[in-house]
Structure 1
């Protein structure tokens, strides 16, 4: 076996430093959340316990942690469903060139480069000036879609750009209607991409701060609640909350990956059974 070049070890060290930079803050918060009852917000730790996790589930003097958590979950689900639906519709529409499609595409992408706080300010002003209620489920929902939809559409554009139309032609030759072709052929094939879009939509909404800051109204989402707590809470209960929300995010990612894995196995099994049937 040939010895590895020095560049391999240099790149390995660089990658390790990058991973430490990327996940170091999260690991630090996770460690500090296990402070003892008399612990503070910095090192050195004063004992080790799960006290602050238990305290997190008690009535807090400041903030509405679990109310904001439930609002973030509901808002994330709303954004997820809307992002998936509109992205599929947009991807199907852009399969055929139409007048103004280029301008529309660049308008969609522009939402990604406009500063988030300006989006939040603009949506909030639009709702307030038109007499509509500024609320997390209305203006906050709309502001977050300006963040998630471009990502979802870009994914679907890439998927449909590589989609083999012969599958649809075969379905139509067998007498399938356009709806049947979409439901039984197109959607199952692009299912992994749909799961990816759904994951993008939910996670981007769940931790979005800037676009929700001026559009949530009187009720905070979880990121806004955590930000507000940083000016009032001076105990490791804030770290315990950060640790639990991180674990929740990882659990959501795990659920989506599991769904994708199960879907791939079912398609592989169905293809295998179809091959055996032909033989």
Structure 2
């Protein structure tokens, strides 16, 4: 009998196609419009095709130092990635054994996922303002010269900004590692100990090779979530913006396709990171074999 697709199949296929168009259409539109000619605008039809706006972006957009913001975002993303991976791995390993307060600690660890991002950002900013007031009060009380003369704020990229990003990336890393260790075969560790392996040797030669691809996934989450974070960063970053904040600010002042070139560049970095993660997972599995 001839196998024909039902009407329901084609209806669902059409709905899925519309979903993909809605999901990736804006990104593809920005990509296409970023290659407009020098006379191009922010909408279709295109006025020629060139790399003009990428050249303008390379030279700098107005008074904003895009490349400094780019470097800050990359540096912060790498630090967040390393800390998220290390803390999630340690926590996942620790939660394999029950201890008092385990449930409450787990709930607290993921609570920031359900709190509005802007509230988290405002809370962190308030904490650092209280810290600044305390430090300045101590400087005045004890006549500490370096505080009275040069201290401004403890807020910054790798203090309040780092903390704000970790409240977003850590819960995802923890949930991934909890799921991984929940399915981990404990018999393999017992076999390693029976063969005379120390706890470190068992972890290095048995546990780590098996959970390696998952660690790459946690690292991917850590970097990409930090790379495009705006809401949690907005109030807690200090006086130096990350690239997403600069991009958000440029949307109100830049009226040429160079803003599309910048958006394409940031998306390209995310795609590059994802591709690198998949390559690392494939390499890890090949080394294991």
Pairwise TM-score range, normalised by the shorter structure: over 0.9
Q: In 2, are the aligned partners of 1:139 and 1:216 still within 8 Å (CA)? A: yes
Partner Cα distance (1:143, 1:247) in 2: 24
Give the deviation of 1:16 after TM superposition: 0.3
Partner Cα distance (2:230, 2:111) in 1: 19
Partner Cα distance (1:73, 1:84) in 2: 16
Equivalent of 1:251, from 268, 272, 277?
Answer: 272
Give the deviation of 1:62 after TM superposition: 2.6
Give the deviation of 1:2 after TM superposition: 1.1
2:57 corresponds in structure 1 to 56
Matched, 1:242 2:263: yes
What is the root-mean-square deviation in Å for CA atoms of aligned residues?
1.0
Matched, 1:31 2:32: yes
- Matching of residues 129-144 of structure 1 within 5 Å: 129-131=130-132, 133-144=154-165
Equivalent of 2:224, from 168, 184, 203?
Answer: 203
Q: In 2, are the aligned partners of 1:83 and 1:148 still within 8 Å (CA)? A: yes
1:4 corresponds in structure 2 to 5
Any idea what the Cα deviations from partners look like across 1:115-169, whole Å, max 9, x if unmatched?
0001111111111211251111110000110100000000000000000011111
Q: In 2, are the aligned partners of 1:140 and 1:212 still within 8 Å (CA)? A: yes
Give the deviation of 1:90 after TM superposition: 0.6
Partner Cα distance (1:170, 1:160) in 2: 17
2:146 corresponds in structure 1 to none
Give the deviation of 1:60 after TM superposition: 2.9
* Structure 1 stretches of at least 4 aligned residues deviating more than 3 Å after TM superposition: none
Matched, 1:83 2:84: yes
Partner Cα distance (1:28, 1:163) in 2: 44
The aligned length equals: 268
1:264 corresponds in structure 2 to 285
1:275 corresponds in structure 2 to none
Q: In 2, are the aligned partners of 1:79 and 1:201 still within 8 Å (CA)? A: yes
- Matching of residues 68-79 of structure 1 within 5 Å: 68-79=69-80
Partner Cα distance (1:156, 1:59) in 2: 41
Matched, 1:116 2:126: no
Q: Equivalent residue of 2:84, what SS?
A: helix
Partner Cα distance (1:72, 1:230) in 2: 18
Any unmatched runs of 5+ in structure 1? 269-279
- Matching of residues 147-226 of structure 1 within 5 Å: 147-226=168-247
Q: Equivalent residue of 1:190, what SS?
A: helix
2:45 corresponds in structure 1 to 44
Q: In 1, are the aligned partners of 2:60 and 2:66 still within 8 Å (CA)? A: no
Give the deviation of 1:106 after TM superposition: 1.1
Partner Cα distance (2:163, 2:62) in 1: 32
Give the deviation of 1:102 after TM superposition: 0.8
Partner Cα distance (1:41, 1:137) in 2: 35
Give the deviation of 1:185 after TM superposition: 1.1
Partner Cα distance (1:51, 1:113) in 2: 43
Any idea what the Cα deviations from partners look like across 1:208-230, whole Å, max 9, x if unmatched?
00011011111110000101111
